[in-house]
Amino acid sequence: MDSAKFKSLMRHQAGAVTIITVGTPGSRTGLTATAMCSLTDTPPTVLICVNRTASAHAPIRAAKCFGVNILAQDHFDLAKRFSTKIVEGEARFDADAWETLATGAPALKGALATLDCELADEHEFQTHSIFIGRVREGRFREDAQPLLYFRGDFWDVKGR
Domains by residue range for the chain, with CATH: 3-155 (2.30.110.10)
Indicate whether 90 pLDDT > 90. Answer: no
**Residue 102 CA: distances (Å) to CA of 33, 47, 105, 135:** 22, 19, 7, 11
pLDDT (0 to 100) of residue 17: 95
Q: Which of 40-49, 89-98, 145-154 shows the lowest per-residue confidence on average (mean pLDDT)? A: 145-154
pTM: 0.91
Give which of 18, 30, 13 is closest to 147, Cα–Cα: 18
What is the spatial distance between Cα 159 and Cα 156, in angstroms, rounded to a whole number? Answer: 6
Secondary structure (3-state) at 58: helix
pLDDT tens-place string over residues 36-53: 999 999 999 999 999 999
**Residue 63 CA: distances (Å) to CA of 108, 115, 123:** 18, 16, 16
